[in-house]
Amino acid sequence: MPSRASASREPVARFGVAMPHDLLERFDHYVQRKGYTNRSEALRDLVRVELASEAWDRGEDVVAAITMVYDHHIPGLTDKLVSIQHGSGGHVISTMHVHLDHSHCLEIIVARGPARDLEKMADEIVRTRGVLVGRIVPALSMHALGDSFLHEHTHDHSHDPSHG
Ligand code: NI
């Protein structure tokens, strides 16, 4: 899925890429299928995905979404899920809760922190009795978000024209 237009107005560097013809042809088809307007944007997204995945493997700080469906009629389950999140060391940023039907709830937890901590929390959630499905999806490595996110916007942006 193509992401938003290039990450802010950072200056870009250009470099040449040598590639076998057949690989380039397959890449161009991919670019077309995914609806990118150019190769560069497609390549940038592929690099971001790979870096996030690699950051995950190395246990670096990442942003991730944990999705789960559970039966809220099971005694103590909702409390258990809440205390798992409270015990995560402040990694949970936000949650969304949808009452799917009479007994099922869908919850999406967005968290950021060391990949291993997030994975541990997700494992704990998934193995809790009453949680029917659950999975964790790494979104980005924190470094990919750039300087502004790492500083959590606590510093002054008045010098930055893009935050006018
Ligand atoms: Ni619910």
With 0-12 / 13-18 / 19 or more C-beta atoms within 10 angstroms meaning exposed / middle / buried, residue 77 is middle
Going along the chain from its start, the domains and CATH numbers come out as 61-144 (3.30.70.1150)
CA of 78 to the centre of ligand 1 (A): 9
Minimal CA–CA distance to 23: which of 6, 52, 46? 46
Q: Give the pLDDT confidence score for residue 21 in this predicted structure.
A: 96
Instruction: Give the other-Cβ count within 10 Å of 6's Cβ.
Output: 12
In tens, the pLDDT along 136-162 reads 988 777 776 665 554 554 444 444 444
b/e map 58-74, b = 16+ CB within 10 Å = eebbbbbbbbbebebee
How many angstroms is it from 66 CA to the middle of ligand 1? 16
CA 117 to ligand 1 center in whole angstroms: 26
pLDDT digits (tens, 9 = 90+) for 107-144: 999 999 998 899 999 999 999 999 999 999 887 777 76
Residue whose entry in the numeric block shows the structure tokens 């258990």:
80
Q: What are 50-96's pLDDT values in tens digits?
A: 887 888 888 888 899 999 999 999 999 999 999 999 998 889 999 99
Task: Determine the pLDDT at residue 5.
Answer: 47
Quote the ligand 1 centre to 100 CA distance (angstroms).
7
Q: Please state, in angstroms and rounded to a whole number, the distance separating the CA atoms of residues 122 and 128.
A: 10
- Cα first-last separation, the chain: 29
CA of 31 to the centre of ligand 1 (A): 40
For residues 147 and 16, what is the distance between their CA atoms, to the nearest angstrom?
Answer: 26
**What is the CA(145)–ligand 1 centre distance, in A?**
32
pTM of the model: 0.66
Rounded distance from Cα 86 to ligand 1 centre (Å)? 19
Q: Is 131 in contact with 67 (CB distance < 8 Å)?
A: no
Separation of 2 CA from ligand 1 center, angstroms? 32
